[in-house]
Amino acid sequence: MPKSQQQARTRDGTRLAYTLYDHPTPSRHIALIHSLAMDRSFWRPVAERLATDACVLIHDCRDTADRTSPRVPSQSSSMPTISPI
């Protein structure tokens, strides 16, 4: 279960950190999303267990520890598109 930590960039320039637990022959693909006032580390123990037979993605949502945002407010209330990983 190789693990990679990287960042994805949204259209407004925000970079969101993520960790991908890759599996060579996954039976499932799982994305775990934390709630407010947390970051992706909340899911790390769960992701490590699930990664024994699945590809697992954990990421930081906006306004969490490991991300950068532009200083301008968002022009839209809808969620931005994240570049392909």
The alpha-carbon radius of gyration of the chain (Å, integer) is 14
Distance of CA 9 to the CA centre of its chain: 11
CB of 20 closer than 8 Å to CB of 4: yes
In the chain, where the domains are located: 3-64
SS3 48: helix
Could you tell me whether strands 15-21 and 54-59 are parallel, antiparallel, or unpaired per DSSP bridges?
Answer: antiparallel
pTM above 0.85, yes or no: no
pLDDT tens sequence across 18-70? 999 999 898 999 999 988 888 899 999 999 999 999 999 999 888 765 555 55
Neighbour tally for 40: CB within 10 Å = 23
What is the predicted pLDDT for the residue at 83?
A: 59
Residue 74: the pLDDT is: 46
